[in-house]
Amino acid sequence: MASWVGSVMIFLAVVCLFLTTVEPKVRHYNFNVVMKNFTRLCGTKPIVTVNGMFPGPTLYAREDDTVIVKLVNNAPYNITIHWHGIRQLRSGWSDGPAYVTQCPIQTGQTYVYNFTITGQRGTLLWHAHITWLRATVHGAIVILPKHGVPYPFPKPDHEKIIVLGEWWKSDADAVMNQWMQTGLPPNVSDAHTINGFPGPVPNCTTSKGYTLHVESGKTYLIRLINAALNEDLFFKVAKHQFTVVEVDACYVKPFETDTMYIAPGQTTTALLTANQKVGKYMMAISPFMDTSVAVDNLTDISTVRYKNTKTYTPTTFSAVPAKNATPETFQFIDALKSLNSPKYPALVPLNIDHSLLFVVGVGVNPCATCSSGNRVVASINNVTFVMPTTPLLQAYYYNISGVFTDDFPGTPVMPYNYTGNVTTMNMQTKNGTRVYRLAYNSTVQVVLQGNAVVAPESHPIHLHGFNFFVVGKGSGNFDPVNDPNTFNLVDPVERNTLNVPTAGWAAIRFRADNPGVWFLHCHLEVHTTWGLKMAFLVENGEGPNESIMPPPKDLPTC
Ligand code: C2O
């Protein structure tokens, strides 16, 4: 009898030990926003940073952990931080876009972001979400699987984070203001960066490239993040292959590629094995743009260096992908499929409550105060979104009238041939602060249609608060009769930022199971600035965990 009791007690003790080690954690971070000068960037001014780092600190957590970030603003700019891709279930107050979910955190002020990571694992990014500060205020988010849960791919020997960025010699806010004054597009960046290193830059002797150190025979999990403001990028390492395993914190069916294509706001996690001769290999990023829109054409040249390398000349590749290599981007996008395993099923909504068509693109409006007499603008369904001065979420929660209307058009008010010859078209848009209202748990399909009115280009569209499934894509105008037959409703890629092809369309589906106000916008910051944005208002449900939580006490005021 005694020995029976003894073994039960030992058993219970082991269970207790097990439970205490696997319990989700609360992870605390301090984000001190400060100015800092970097000689490797050859800038003329210090840049805005978190903790004096560029890129900023990596946020590590496990699935189910709670993350608490205390932000103290010691920079002479208003700031907010967005945890890009974190679902923020019922915790919209911590989502971060200025004037959508919160007032900016002013100089000298503090705000505590507090959120729990539910049902997500992989690589994401955080970034400033006000004006153009995210140019330098960004960093990685790494969500590890729960304790004891393995990756659904071979375990890597090491993990490496690679953050891609874009950098301007003058401060990025001044660049943005160009549009305010002239009405014309602002300057393209002066360099691309890999983990904050621009590679060789003309007229800058202190600039250099980043070095990724590897060891022969080892496998690395590369967590690649495009934190650039305005440019889709190609990423390549000479002689090496990647096995892509996850995008936007969602596992995908593994596939091999020698070129990664990644748009601003997107993340791609891939295995790379150091299986070549010991030596140095060129690693580079270069821009993608398949129309005449201006881009920063500088290739950031960096190095992958094997341990014990004796040679000084790296192995290079003959050329980076052509700037207009549309087929390479499609090859990459089309290879992305949800893992859709029993453990990670693809729960694609099959019955749709709201079927929407959003036409996205650039327009031109007359502007009396602009030196050019016109202003380049951007819109969704011809609405150029105007940011309110009271955050939308606050206005909704406290019933403050006059901040927004909930009549955002779900389909174009005046349909036209979106990708045809529209040179005679009226390019003017209408200003508005309009949201689209959704009942809790309703299902939504949005066909994002790129137009060819002014400057057609590929738009990386990002939705806050949700992952969606990219069920289809095509060129030209979406055909509502035939194109749905081509949809993949079995294993479409799940993500938070999709690529809408130049003068083409892409369709997404999601379930509105997160109450709050959620921003949707082009992740090319220049287009967001011009008004290519809107918001979904998702009502509370009836159940106990189906309402937005009350706002925190320290929520900033405007
Ligand atoms: Cu990463 Cu609203 O953006």
Q: Is residue 465 in contact with ligand 1, taking CB distance under 6 Å? A: no
Closest approach atom of ligand 1 to CA 519: 2
- CB of 462 closer than 6 angstroms to any ligand 1 atom: yes
Q: Is 533 in the pocket of ligand 1 (CB under 6 A)?
A: no
Half-sphere exposure of 468 (CA within 13 A, CB side): 25
Any atom of ligand 1 within 6 Å of the Cβ of 134:
no
Q: How far is the CA of 381 from the centre of ligand 1 (A)?
A: 20
Backbone angles phi, psi at 261, to 5 degrees: -120, 125
- The structure tokens listed for 150 are 């393995």
Q: What is the pLDDT of residue 253?
A: 98
Task: Tell me, in angstroms, the distance from the centre of ligand 1 to residue 464's CA.
Answer: 7
Atom of ligand 1 nearest to the CA of 521: 2
- For residue 134, the ligand 1 atom closest to its alpha carbon is 1
Q: How far is the CA of 140 from the centre of ligand 1 (A)?
A: 14
Please tell me the distance between residue 527's alpha carbon and the centre of ligand 1 in angstroms: 12
Ligand 1: centre distance to CA 137 (Å): 13
Give the tokens for residue 28. Answer: 């605390």
What are the φ/ψ torsions at residue 17 (nearest 5 degrees)? Answer: -60, -45
CA dist list (Å): 229 to 179, 449, 551: 15, 22, 30
* Ligand 1 centroid – CA 515 distance (Å): 18
Q: Which atom of ligand 1 is nearest to the CA of 125?
A: 1
Which bin fits 326, alpha (ψ -120 to 50), beta or left (φ > 0)? alpha
Span from the CA of 125 to the centroid of ligand 1 (angstroms): 9
Q: Which atom of ligand 1 is nearest to the CA of 127?
A: 1
Give the position, in ligand 1's atom list, of the atom nearest the Cα of 464. Answer: 2
Q: What is the pLDDT of residues 465-520, one digit of tens each?
A: 999 999 999 999 999 999 999 999 999 999 999 999 999 999 999 999 999 999 99
Superfamily for 158-334?
Cupredoxins -  blue copper proteins (2.60.40.420)
Please tell me if the CB atom of residue 265 comes closer than 6 angstroms to any atom of ligand 1. yes
Rounded to the nearest angstrom, the distance between the alpha carbon of 282 and the centre of ligand 1 is: 31
Backbone CA torsion sign across 141, 145, 148, 152: negative
Does the beta carbon of 127 sit less than 6 angstroms from any atom of ligand 1?
yes
Task: Check if 519 has its Cβ closer than 6 Å to any atom of ligand 1.
Answer: yes
Cβ–ligand 1 distance for 464 under 6 Å, the answer: yes
User: Cα(85) to centroid of ligand 1, in Å?
Assistant: 8
Here the tokens at position 505 are 């369309």
| Mean predicted confidence (pLDDT) in 367-373 | 92
pLDDT > 90? residue 200: no
Q: Is the CB of 62 under 6 A from ligand 1?
A: no
Q: Note the pLDDT tens digit of each residue in 235-272.
A: 999 999 999 999 999 999 999 999 999 999 999 999 99
Least confident of 166-175, 281-290, 295-304, 490-499: 166-175
Q: Is 405 helix (H, G, I), strand (E, B) or coil?
A: strand
- Distances from the Cα of 514 to the Cαs of 61, 63, 202, 300, 407, in angstroms? 21, 18, 48, 39, 20
Q: Can you state the percent helix, strand and coil of the chain, rounding each to 5?
A: 10, 40, 50
CATH of domain 354-546: 2.60.40.420
Tokens 């006059």, residue located: 402
- Domain boundary assignment for the chain: 12-144, 158-334, 354-546
Side chain identity at residue 286, one-letter code: S
97 lines ligand 1 (CB under 6 A): yes
Q: What is the mean pLDDT of the chain?
A: 93
Instruction: Specify the amino acid at residue 531.
Output: G
Cβ atoms 86, 512 nearer than 8 A = no
Query: In 255-274, which positions are buried (b, 16+ CB within 10 angstroms) versus exposed (e)?
Result: eebebbbbbbbbbbbbbbbb
Nearest-CA residue for atom 3 of ligand 1: 84
Of ligand 1's listed atoms, the one at least distance from the Cα of 264 is 1
- Measure 265 CA to ligand 1 centroid, in angstroms: 7
Determine if ligand 1 sits within 6 Å of the CB of residue 82. Answer: yes
What CATH homologous superfamily does 12-144 map to?
Cupredoxins -  blue copper proteins (2.60.40.420)
CA distance 322 to 331: 14
Cα of 379 vs centre of ligand 1, distance in Å, is 17
Question: Which residues are registered as beta bridge partners of 29?
Answer: 69
d(CA 106, ligand 1 centre) in Å? 20
Atom in ligand 1 nearest the alpha carbon of residue 528 = 2
Q: What is the pTM of this model?
A: 0.95
Q: Do domains 158-334 and 354-546 have the same CATH topology?
A: yes
Sheet containing 259-262, strands listed edge to edge, beginning at the edge strand earlier in sequence:
211-214, 300-306, 280-288, 232-237, 259-262
- Counting from 1 in the atom list of ligand 1, the atom nearest the Cα of 265 is 1
Q: In this predicted model, what pLDDT tens digit does every residue of 201-214 receive, in sequence order?
A: 888 888 889 999 99
Closest CA to 221 of 143, 273, 264, 260: 273
* pLDDT band of 1, cuts 50, 70, 90: very low
Q: What is the C-alpha separation between 261 and 264, in angstroms, rounded?
A: 10
Please check whether residue 183 is in contact with residue 367, taking contact to mean a CB–CB distance below 8 angstroms: yes
How many A from CA of 315 to the centre of ligand 1? 36
Q: What spacing in Å lies between the alpha carbon of 475 and ligand 1's midpoint?
A: 26
Strand locations in 258-370, DSSP E?
259-262, 267-273, 280-288, 300-306, 354-366
Which tens digit of pLDDT belongs to each residue from 22-51?
A: 688 999 999 999 999 988 888 778 999 999
